[in-house]
């Protein structure tokens, strides 16, 4: 795709996207599907049969599973071929993340190793560092962990107190500090550790081998969920780290951490898909087996509502995840064609979509939260029993709203990054917003296109975008420099932006599917879209009113509230029948089939 035509991060708010230009998961080729199938086969053979053993943290078990997955090549999907990897596209790596996402605690260990554990070296390592570490990490001979969080530095990562001082002979950095919540820390051989050199105000990053003297691993933490994953505190007591193990440049650690977090956030959006689809399949399996009052509970409207809503939230998340994954691949290719090296192009390509990464982390984790919560409800008393996997799925899901920056932090990032990007890059959200505000009193509601289904949906999505834009502009103008202190209002705006992206992604996917398979053959996807757009209009209306009522009064409030109602007005939908059609298809197939 040409650079001028590629919609960059956040620009979905001010530009329209053509359905034919996006990537949808139905377009994965046979090689990509085979990689996903290999992941699924691995879980079926090696993980699902021993879930209880994994959750007891049987000595050496998780480490052996990491090694086995490495032998199948599953740890090297994003590692360059030169270092015994497969160097697949970002979209392919997302598909692998989805496939592994249904592996409960193993998926956490796998994601930590292949993502935040290995990729800092892939993207920032010197040739010598890559030669030494990447082949062993790709094969599973060595396992990796990422050490950023400290007891008094969680969301404020740069507040960490770990320090490194150059030795008198200049050959080592003497590292001291404490890290906590380190996934894979109990068995990892290679640690990416963040610390400040001397009196630096920002972090540097170091590759630290576990075998070095002074690396002390605490006992495993006891956790609510993901019980089988290793989570420990690690102490560094006068650890002599060779100077050649400085990762990247001095003072570059915070940038490395930030960029790896962008990647981790968007990868989490893919990982939750696998967990959600498995939970939905388990939900419908049970609903088709369980009888009450002499009939299967899947025949009840209340259960059909839950099953359909599980599908809708998952399908919309999936649409958004793979839409932006292809955007990232296109951006990486453009940067490489312009002369940027592959590692730099990859990390910068992902960073371009920091807004989407943050919103998908929130959107996906909360979609999964709904799916597993309703799975427990569908199972009833059995869902509360540790005898069923939905008990495990429910507990394991909760961490996703904390991982990779809490959902609160990421909600703030969505609004904050949108405004900062507007001011810095000419992606002028505020200009668009101010134009909308100037025309609030005179603008006539555009006519809804008649007899053109997708034109009607595009019309609604365009109005949703106007809601987000005029909220951003109004807030910027009202609060000026205090803008970022109004967190409750920023949350309202971020929720609107997330629903806009979800609605547009679902619309574009449904439209592209219709062009491929035919309009009549895709009626169920239009049901999904109808329900989601209808519900989004209600949620956007509420969030926008909450924001406006928090900073406007009198006639100004009245005018803006009226405009919100115009922007969020959609045609009536028989959501009961639409949901029942979605649920009936799921019940008929007895598995997630969308």
What CATH number did the domain enclosing 239 receive? 2.40.110.10
CA distance 527 to 40: 29
Q: Do residues 220 and 242 share a domain? A: yes
Q: Do residues 202 and 59 share a domain? A: no
- Is 526 part of any domain? yes
Q: Do residues 216 and 341 share a domain? A: no
What's the mean pLDDT in 513-542? 97
Q: Do residues 236 and 273 share a domain? A: no
Q: What is the DSSP letter of 449?
A: P
Q: Do residues 280 and 239 share a domain? A: no
Residue ending a domain, among 93, 110, 143, is 143
Whether 173 has a pLDDT exceeding 90, the answer reads yes
CA distance 194 to 196: 7
- Is 414 part of any domain? no
Residue 445 has what pLDDT? 59
Whether 477 has a pLDDT exceeding 80, the answer reads no
Contact 184, 113 (CB under 8 A): yes
CA distance 361 to 402: 10
**Mind spelling out the 3-state secondary structure of 415-436?**
HHHHHHHHHHHCCCHHHHHHHH
Residue 425 has what pLDDT? 60
- Is 170 part of any domain? yes
Q: Is 444 designated active site?
A: no
Least confidently predicted of 71-80, 338-347, 474-483:
474-483
Q: Do residues 160 and 129 share a domain? A: no
Contact 86, 77 (CB under 8 A): yes
Residue ending a domain, among 143, 174, 197, is 143
- Is 542 part of any domain? yes
* Nearest Cα to Cα of residue 311 among 531, 504, 523: 531
Q: How many CB atoms lie within 10 A of CB 106?
A: 26
Nearest-Å Rg of the Cα atoms of the chain is 24
Residue 300 has what pLDDT? 97
- Is 363 part of any domain? yes
Residue 22 has what pLDDT? 95
Q: How many CB atoms lie within 10 A of CB 211?
A: 8
Q: Do residues 433 and 401 share a domain? A: no
Q: Do residues 345 and 402 share a domain? A: yes
Q: Do residues 440 and 580 share a domain? A: yes
> What tokens were used for 415?
């609004």
CA distance 422 to 425: 6
> What tokens were used for 272?
């939750």
The SS3 call for residue 143 is coil
- Is 20 part of any domain? no
In tens, the pLDDT along 395-411 reads 999 999 998 889 999 99
* Nearest Cα to Cα of residue 552 among 498, 500, 486: 486
Contact 368, 393 (CB under 8 A): no
Helices 354-379 + 253-289 axis angle, to 10: 30
Residue 424 has what pLDDT? 65
Q: What is the DSSP letter of 589?
A: H
Q: What is the DSSP letter of 443?
A: P
Least confidently predicted of 35-39, 109-113, 458-462, 474-478:
474-478
pLDDT level of residue 486 (50, 70, 90 thresholds)? confident
Give the chain's largest Cα–Cα span.
Answer: 81
What's the mean pLDDT in 368-378? 98
Please identify which residue in the block is written with the tokens 């879930």. 51
Whether 17 has a pLDDT exceeding 90, the answer reads yes
Contact 244, 225 (CB under 8 A): no
Q: How many CB atoms lie within 10 A of CB 52?
A: 11
CA distance 530 to 507: 9
pLDDT level of residue 113 (50, 70, 90 thresholds)? very high
Tell me how far the alpha carbon of residue 313 is from its chain's centroid.
14
Structural domains counted in the chain: 4
Q: Do residues 398 and 427 share a domain? A: no
Contact 265, 361 (CB under 8 A): yes
Q: Do residues 523 and 377 share a domain? A: no
Q: What share of the chain in percent tops pLDDT 90?
A: 82
Residue 471 has what pLDDT? 87
Cross-strand pairs, 174: 165, 240
Contact 133, 113 (CB under 8 A): no
Please identify which residue in the block is written with the tokens 């009450």. 292
- Phi/psi at 426 (nearest 5 deg)? 85, 0
pLDDT level of residue 421 (50, 70, 90 thresholds)? confident
pLDDT level of residue 295 (50, 70, 90 thresholds)? very high
End-to-end CA distance of the chain: 28
- Is 346 part of any domain? yes
Give the domain extent around 288.
253-408
String of DSSP letters for 39-78: HHHHIIIIIGGGHHHHHTT-TTHHHHHHHHHHHTTTT-TT
pLDDT level of residue 447 (50, 70, 90 thresholds)? confident
The CATH number of residue 306's host domain is: 1.20.140.10
Contact 241, 164 (CB under 8 A): yes
Please identify which residue in the block is written with the tokens 């595009």. 458
Higher pLDDT among residues 428 and 220, named by residue: 220
The CATH number of residue 50's host domain is: 1.10.540.10
pLDDT level of residue 557 (50, 70, 90 thresholds)? confident
- Residue 271, Cβ density class (10 Å: 0-12 exposed, 13-18 middle, ≥19 buried): buried
Residue ending a domain, among 211, 226, 247, is 247
- Is 418 part of any domain? no
Q: Do residues 133 and 265 share a domain? A: no
What's the mean pLDDT in 289-311? 96
String of DSSP letters for 225-263: S-TTS-EEEEEEEEEEEEGGGEESSTT-HHHHHHHHHHH
What's the mean pLDDT in 247-269? 91
What's the mean pLDDT in 212-217? 97
- Residues 6 or more apart in contact with residue 337 via CB below 8 angstroms: none
163-166 and 144-147 beta bridge pairing: unpaired
Mean of pLDDT over the chain = 93
pLDDT level of residue 442 (50, 70, 90 thresholds)? low
- Point out the catalytic residue in the list 404, 486, 504, 511: 404
């Amino acid at each position: 795709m040409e650079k001028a035509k590629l919609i960059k991060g956040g620009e979905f708010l001010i530009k329209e996207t053509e359905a034919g230009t996006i990537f949808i998961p139905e377009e994965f080729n046979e090689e990509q599907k085979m990689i996903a199938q290999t992941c699924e086969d691995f879980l079926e053979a090696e993980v699902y049969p021993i879930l209880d053993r994994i959750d007891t943290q049987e000595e050496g078990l998780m480490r052996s599973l990491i090694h086995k997955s490495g032998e199948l090549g599953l740890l090297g999907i994003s590692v360059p071929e030169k270092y015994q990897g497969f160097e697949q596209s970002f979209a392919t790596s997302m598909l692998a993340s989805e496939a592994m996402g249904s592996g409960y605690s193993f998926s956490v260990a796998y994601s930590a190793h292949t993502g935040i554990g290995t990729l800092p070296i892939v993207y920032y390592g010197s040739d010598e560092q890559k030669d030494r570490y990447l082949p062993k990490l790709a094969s599973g001979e060595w396992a990796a962990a990422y050490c950023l969080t400290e007891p008094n530095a969680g969301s404020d990562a740069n507040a960490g107190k770990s320090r490194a001082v150059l030795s008198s002979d200049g050959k080592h950095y003497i590292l001291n500090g404490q890290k906590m919540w380190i996934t894979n820390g109990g068995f990892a051989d290679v640690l990416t550790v963040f610390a400040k050199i001397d009196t630096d105000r920002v972090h540097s990053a170091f590759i630290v081998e576990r075998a070095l003297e002074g690396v002390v691993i605490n006992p495993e933490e006891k956790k609510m969920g993901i019980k089988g994953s290793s989570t420990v505190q690690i102490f560094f007591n006068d650890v002599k780290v060779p100077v050649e193990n400085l990762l990247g440049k001095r003072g570059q650690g915070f940038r490395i951490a930030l960029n790896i977090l962008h990647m981790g956030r968007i990868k989490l959006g893919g990982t939750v898909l696998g967990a959600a689809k498995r939970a939905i399949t388990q939900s419908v399996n049970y609903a088709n087996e369980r009888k009450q009052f002499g009939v299967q509970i899947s025949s009840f409207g209340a259960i059909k509502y839950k099953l359909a809503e599980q599908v809708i939230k998952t399908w919309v998340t999936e649409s958004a995840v793979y839409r932006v994954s292809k955007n990232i691949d296109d951006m990486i290719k453009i940067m490489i064609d312009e002369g940027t090296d592959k590692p730099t192009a990859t990390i910068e390509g992902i960073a371009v979509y920091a807004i989407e990464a943050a919103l998908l982390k929130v959107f996906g984790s909360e979609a999964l939260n709904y799916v597993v919560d309703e799975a427990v409800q569908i199972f009833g008393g059995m869902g509360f029993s540790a005898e069923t996997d939905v008990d495990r799925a429910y507990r394991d899901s909760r961490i996703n709203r904390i991982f990779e920056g809490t959902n609160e932090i990421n909600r703030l990032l969505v609004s904050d990054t949108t405004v900062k990007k507007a001011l810095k890059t000419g992606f002028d959200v505020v200009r668009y917003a101010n134009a909308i505000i100037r025309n609030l009193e005179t603008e006539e509601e555009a006519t809804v296109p008649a007899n053109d289904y997708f034109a009607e949906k595009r019309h609604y999505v365009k109005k949703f975008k106007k809601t987000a834009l005029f909220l951003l502009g109004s807030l910027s103008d009202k609060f000026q420099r205090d803008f970022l202190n109004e967190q409750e209002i920023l949350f309202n705006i971020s929720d609107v932006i997330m629903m806009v992206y979800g609605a547009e992604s679902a619309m574009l996917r449904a439209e592209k599917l219709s062009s491929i398979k035919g309009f009549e053959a895709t009626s169920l996807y239009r049901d999904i879209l109808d329900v989601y757009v209808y519900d989004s209009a209600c949620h956007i209306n509420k969030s926008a009113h909450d924001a406006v009522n928090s900073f406007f009064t009198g006639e100004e409030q009245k005018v803006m509230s009226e405009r919100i109602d115009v922007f969020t007005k959609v045609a009536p939908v028989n959501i009961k029948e639409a949901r029942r059609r979605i649920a009936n298809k799921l019940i008929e197939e007895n598995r997630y089939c969308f």
